[in-house]
Structures are given as C-alpha cells and as structure tokens.
C-alpha cells in the first residue's frame, strides 16, 4: 500500500507513458503523421525518397538519358503531396535542397526553387493511377528516336521487356509543360507504365523512384537492341505466343500493367482518403499526434486511478 500522503505527479506519469507509447509505435513500424506539410517534407521517410531522387537523377545524367536541364523526377509521399525536381537544373547537379513539395493541383508548398514546368504530366498520372508512387520523364536517345519517328517498337522480342514494360504506347504530340501535354497520356497510362511522347521523349511510372528509373533503362536498351537487330535481320523472330502467355501470368502476379491484361476501368476515387486506402497508404505515416495524446491520456488516467486506489 502507498502512504496516503504520497503526491502523484501526473505530469511525470504522462511523460513516462508518452515515451513508452512512442517507443511502441516506432518498434511496430508505425510512425507519426506530421503536423504540417513542411514537417512531412522534412520527415525521415521523405528524406530517404529525396536521396533516391538524387541518385536517380545522377544515373539518368550519367547514362545520357537527359541533357541540359531536361528531364524531371517526382515521388508521391502522401495522398496529397508530391516531391518534385526543379526547373532549369541538370539532373546531374541535383541536391536535396533543390527539391520542392507540391500538391496535386501544382501549388508549391515547400521549397526555394520552383518545381519543373512539366510536373503537370506527373500529377495527371498520379491522379489517374493510384498505384503510381514515382514518375520519371527523360530523353534517352534510342527511345526518343522511336518517339520522333512515330514508331512503336516491335514487341514480343525480349522477355525482360515483355515482363517489366510490355507493349510501349505512343502519345500524341502536345506542347511540353501544358495541360494538353499532361492529359495526352491519360488514355494510355492505366494500361502502360511506359509511354513514348511523340517528338519529345519518354515517361515511366512505378511504385518507387528506383523502379521507374529501371524501366527507363529497360525500354532504352530494348529500343537500342531493336535498332541493331534489325540491321542484322529485318524480319525478327518473336517469342512464341504460348511463352508470352507465361510472362503475362507472371506479370499479373507482380501487379504490373499491360494492355493485354484486363484493365480496371472503374472511376478513379476523388477522395484522397479513398485513394490512400486503395493504394496502400497512408504513407509514410500512420498515427496522428491527436491519437497519441488520446492514448497517453487514457493510459495515464488508468495508472493514476490505480495508484490512488492503492493509497
């Protein structure tokens, strides 16, 4: 029994409980919902994605998939917000402080440098494809050559291309940076993760920045291989249809889009909360400060009540 004159420090009890609750949340893999977009932008999860964007930008520049200030990269870090590369900066020179946070209506929320003018393309893809977490637009020479020539590369020739990309779509030309340019991909983007942009370049979306960068490598290597192979033999022999079916079965299991697979034509949810639910969000956080405080208050109250009953 506690002495009846004992003083219960409720603040101390609440502090101990809060520390324990936050440690339990961290160990369970959950984390706090930030109180503001700026806190979200500077969270550890967002910082990891920023580093991934920097790495991808340097890979694109090193492989000569971008030149000058061309190309752009984005990553969706919550149902409402996207990290964007800036306008007028080489992807080989990207630094974390160059990145900005924009919402789905292209309002810059955080960041010193203005976002890329072609972010509209990225935002339309995010709105149309809830599974898209990253978008990369660039100008790899062989893929862009096909886009300039208006030629969709022949399919069913390389298994890796069929598995990760599949048939490559070609979007009609529109002036880059305009809403018409952004919307040109909408008839294609739910059935394709890689689209040639006529007289312009290539855009890929994926579940991560790294995977979107991989897709640019796959399709560029494929287009280059076709140019070489057709010099050796114009009538290239395709993979048998039965073997393509095997690849499509695997592709469906991996959740990769392909126009040869059934496409979900149901309307895209307008509500950010519904989008979050369908695409596996909330990302990157799960627990709000309000929920934490409610739990701390309830547990602290129960502890105080228990101690008072023992006095």
Cα 133–Cα 100–Cα 35 angle in degrees, nearest 5: 80
* Sheet of 100-103, strand order: 108-110, 100-103, 81-84, 72-76, 134-138, 201-206, 194-197, 169-171
Active site residue 118: yes
Query: Could you give the CA distance from residue 68 to residue 70 in angstroms, rounded to a whole number?
Result: 5
**Catalytic site residue from 118, 124, 213, 220:** 118
* CA–CA distance, 114 with 53 (Å, rounded to integer): 16
From 213, 249, 237, select the one nearest 158 (Cα to Cα): 237
Catalytic residue set: 118
């Amino acid at each position: 029994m506690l002495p009846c004159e004992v003083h219960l420090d409720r603040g101390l009890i609440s502090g101990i409980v809060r520390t324990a609750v936050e440690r339990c949340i961290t160990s369970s893999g959950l984390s706090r919902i930030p109180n503001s977009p700026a806190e979200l932008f500077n969270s550890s999860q967002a910082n990891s994605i920023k580093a991934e964007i920097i790495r991808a930008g340097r890979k694109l520049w090193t492989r000569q998939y971008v030149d000058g200030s061309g190309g752009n990269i984005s990553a969706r870090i919550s149902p409402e917000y996207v990290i964007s590369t800036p306008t007028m900066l080489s992807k080989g020179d990207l630094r974390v402080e160059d990145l900005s946070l924009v919402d789905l209506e292209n309002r810059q929320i955080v960041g010193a440098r203005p976002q890329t003018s072609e972010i509209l393309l990225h935002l339309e893809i995010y709105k149309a494809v809830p599974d898209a977490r990253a978008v990369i637009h660039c100008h790899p020479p062989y893929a862009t050559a096909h886009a300039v020539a208006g030629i969709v590369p022949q399919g069913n020739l390389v298994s890796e291309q069929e598995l990760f990309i599949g048939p490559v779509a070609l979007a009609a030309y529109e002036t880059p940076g305009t809403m018409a340019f952004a919307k040109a991909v909408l008839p294609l983007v739910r059935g394709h993760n890689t689209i040639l942009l006529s007289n312009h370049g290539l855009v890929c979306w994926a579940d991560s920045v790294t995977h979107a960068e991989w897709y640019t490598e796959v399709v560029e290597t494929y287009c280059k291989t076709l140019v070489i192979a057709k010099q050796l033999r114009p009538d290239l022999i395709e993979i048998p249809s039965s073997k393509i079916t095997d690849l499509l079965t695997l592709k469906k299991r991996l959740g990769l889009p392909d126009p040869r697979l059934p496409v979900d034509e149901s309307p895209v949810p307008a509500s950010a909360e519904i989008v979050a639910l369908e695409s596996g969000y909330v990302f990157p956080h799960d627990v709000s400060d309000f929920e934490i405080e409610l739990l701390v208050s309830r547990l602290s109250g129960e502890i105080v009540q228990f101690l008072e009953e023992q006095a």
